[in-house]
Structure 1
Amino acid sequence: MVGGSPRRLDDNLMDKFRGHVIGKGKARSDGEEVGWLGGRHLLDREFDTDKNVILDCLHFGMRVDTSKVPPDLMRAYIEQEREALLKAHDGWKPARIRKEAIEAAKQRAAGELKDGRFRSMRQFPILWDTRSDVVYLGATQPAVQERFMSLFRDTFDKRVERLSAGRLAYRWAEAAGNARRIETAQLAKYVPHERGNGHIEVYWTAADPASRDYLGNEFLLWLWWTVAEQSDVIHLPDETDASVLIVKQLTLECPWAETGKQVLTADGPASLPESRRALQGGKLPRKAGLVLHRDGSQYELVLQAETFNVSGGVLPKLEKPSGEPVPGDRREQAEERVEQVRHFSETLDALYHAYLAQRFSDDWARVQREIAAWVLGVDSADAIRGRMADAGVAAG
């Protein structure tokens, strides 16, 4: 978030939500309306500090309403109107009949839309962590994220930015004093292209080469190599340890936009021969199912590499070690959930920071050679140097 979170989570802040609650604004010309929800259910339009403030966080929601007559039904309306006009006006020309039928069908549809007959409502949960100035939106679709950012700006006069892999890397670099290294970084190449450097390196980040979002792809590959060749337990910058498993799904794609995408689904997709062949063909991981374990808590998720979007997240159950439910009222359980979300986010960030610390260390050239040897199935890291040098590939 640009500009920081509000210092006081009081009724004045609730008034800002109330001013942009769903149903209070004006629908767009296409019939879409976007507004805030109270957070408990699809029709919750109430805001108060007792409900919406949890610890130093805000829990609420966003609803997107769309109103549109199904195309097949609209065509049926036009045909009904056309048949009625043919009977009533035998001498009219076909072009006039059709024009009048379309207009009558539109008026009929407009009346039904006004009555809410074809309204579709979607809600998206939101947690605003004012301690870390991070807003968690329960949606990965870019269109929904755009609507959220626009509504947030209109409501609070503040700007939020997507925390993609590249933006997270820049934030880490500024704190670590490595900003210059991020700015001059190049994609770590493990499989030389047959045309050398005369091609797009990563087509999905080509529109914004300075974003460094490809570091998310490198991160998944680094995790994969670390778990396969080093250990499934990774030491983190905060002196804790996290174990990592790649599970259920793994998506790889050719960064040169030449050999397409490969989606692997299995209990251990990274162990399949097809996954290694995809790497050897130059593909990079773009999405992976992960299980993370840290400080006695286990999390399951699907991570999209460049955007760092998380989907399918599973937090630990609120229960005692014996399996009994955690006692307490609804608010105590909500507070525990907030702490779980924070710990999960810290765990994922710490893993990424561990990768970045190695990626931009003086030891990276050696690590890159080892990863390249593993990718290509070469026993000795030294043997890969000649192949990379022949292709004009340098450690980046």
Structure 2
Amino acid sequence: MSFHSGRATFCRFSVSGDAPATADETAISILSEFAFEAQSIGVPQEIEVGFVTGEHVFDTQFTYGKNGFGPALLFALRIDTHKVPSDIKQAYKCMHEQSVAAGKENSLGFLSKAEKREATELTNRQLQEELAAGKYRKSKMVPILWDLQRKELLCGAVGNAIIEQLHKIMRDSFNVELDQLTSGGIARQILSAKGETRDFEDIRPSAFTAPPAGASENHEDAAGVQDITIPPVPWATASIDMKDFLGNEFLLWLWWILEEHEGSVEIDAPGTQRKDSIGILFDKSLNMDCAWEVGGKQTLTGDGPTRLVEAADALVTGKWPRKAGMIVADEASSEQWELTFQSDMMILSSIKLPDPDEAQSPRDVIEARILSCRRIAEIFTGMYAKFLSVRMDPNAWATRREAISKWIASRKRK
């Protein structure tokens, strides 16, 4: 999944510290200084990390033409791992023990401690030679789009191991810190900009339905028995930010908007007084999970998954949407994106970007794709801000929550 071609995927990070203001020669030189370079002598480290241009995994010739796009830097992180599979280690150990045993006279197949040590040394020597030769090298390229203007970085892969390496190399190279923007973090960012964070830490998950059967038996923690009418949302409790349940409420709100308000959301256009009308549609897939951790998970696939009876049953029994296939349209520009949205983590994946019809060169295509990625991130932030404007108003949210609850109840199978 690349920003250069094909479908795109990204999670988001805010960037703080001594970041460059533009994609200038200084920024390009830092990429060059920390370019990927494979260890050429001896056994390599288990993990090797460095920057590549993003055109392919071996390209480390950074230039403005490849990597500089006005207020954005486009590059990639190469991560190589050198790890011998455990089955290979065990096989070599067995083979060397058999070889040592075969060299003994009158052997009954039992090895002394010294002979086992010899077999182990032979095994380690063989593995080190093969590691040094690169036999077990596995290379991965992670696309990176750094929006210098917005102080935000889009990472084209997810996973703790990748994020850990990204944090480290960005700190070592550009002297910046990254903070992953899940739904809780983006909510803080939006509310902080408006000076409205006073009540944020006190908000709790909303109950759109009665707790499912069995909730009273399981809804307990170190503080004792809790109010079972408030869903614990276990995946948010275990997440980077305990307010990530807001992303799931946001996705449920979008679902309600789709069915009760024709799938149209009006958002503020950043830096202007303009309002943009955004159309949404759920399509292809819908993943749901019980907010009380008693009803299990459910995955629905096919056209219009939210219209299925199983989706209605899941809502009624306390399941919340976590991930959904969506079609998002900017009505003013007529641009359309197909994607999968993981709401609690705010991850957009498998994004089919609008075709750059007016592109005259390969660089024009990449520039159009960068703008399109920035725009879809902006659209989701705008829709989320619209949701938060209601969610953080106690009176408005009480009315909206009741409306959503009635909508859920109305879908109950007769």
**What is the deviation of 1:30?**
6.1
Counterpart of 1:146, as a letter, is E
Contact 2:43 2:131 in 1 (8 A): no
From 365, 377, 383, the equivalent of 1:351 is: 383
TM-score w.r.t. length of structure 1: 0.88
Q: Deviations over 1:141-195 (max 9, x none)?
A: 2221221112111111110111110111111111223211322212111122253
Listed as ranges, the matches of 1:258-277 within 5 Å are 258-277=294-313
8 Å CA contact 2:44, 2:82 repeated in 1 = no
| CA–CA distance in structure 2, aligned partners of residues 190 and 283 of structure 1 | 10
Task: State yes or no: 1:197 paired with 2:227.
Answer: yes
Q: Quick one: which amino acid aligns to residue 197 of structure 1?
A: D
CA distance in 2, matches of 1:245, 1:290: 6
Equivalence for 2:369: 337
> How high is the TM-score relative to the length of structure 2?
0.84
Cα distance change on mapping 1:8 and 1:347 into 2, 3 Å: closer
SS class of match (2:400): helix
User: Unaligned 5+ residue runs, structure 1?
Assistant: 320-325, 380-396
- Does the alignment pair 1:229 with 2:260? yes
Which residue of structure 2 lines up, in the alignment, with residue 304 of structure 1? Answer: 342
Query: 1:95, CA displacement in angstroms?
Result: 4.4
Deviation, 1:4, is 6.2
Paired position in structure 2 for 1:220: 251
Q: How far apart in 1 are the matches of 2:267 and 2:35?
A: 42
Greater helix content: 1
Amino acid at match of 1:264: L
Q: Does 1:141 align with 2:189?
A: no
- Using CA pairs below 8 Å that are at least 6 residues apart, which structure has the higher relative contact order? 2
Alignment partner, residue 94 of structure 1: 111
Distance (Å, rounded) in 2 between the aligned partners of 1:28 and 1:266? 49
Which residue number corresponds to residue 69 of structure 1? 84
Q: Could you say if the C-alpha distance between residues 216 and 316 of structure 1 is closer, same or farther in structure 2, counting changes exceeding 3 Å?
A: same
Identify the match of residue 43 of structure 1 among 55, 58, 81: 58
Distance 1:68 1:56 in 2: 38
* Cα pair 2:167 2:178 within 8 Å, conserved: yes
| CA RMSD after TM alignment | 2.3
Name the CA distance, whole Å, in 2 between partners of 1:4 and 1:374.
Answer: 49
Q: 1:11 to 1:262 in 2, by over 3 A?
A: same
Aligned partners of 2:192, 2:280: CA distance in 1, in Å?
A: 27
3-state DSSP class of the match of 2:199?
helix
Q: The residue matched to 1:7 in structure 2 has which SS?
A: coil
Residue 331 of structure 1 aligns to a residue whose secondary structure is helix
Percent of residue pairs bearing the same amino acid type: 29
Equivalent-residue separation in structure 1 for 2:117 and 2:314 (angstroms)? 56
1:378 Cα deviation from its structure 2 partner:
7.7
**What are the within-5 Å matches in structure 2 for residues 374-393 of structure 1?**
374-377=407-410
**Alignment counterpart, residue 366 of structure 1, candidates 361, 376, 399:** 399
Number of paired residues? Answer: 373
Q: Does the 8 Å contact 1:318/1:333 carry over to 2?
A: yes
Given that 1:247 and 1:266 are in contact with CA atoms closer than 8 Å, whether structure 2 keeps it comes out as yes
Question: In the superposition, relative to structure 1, how do residues 6 and 274 fare at CA in structure 2: closer, same or farther (>3 Å)?
Answer: same
Instruction: Flag the 1:273–1:209 CA change in 2: closer, same or farther, 3 A.
Output: same
The Cα shift of 1:356 comes to 1.1
Matched residue of 1:298: which SS? strand
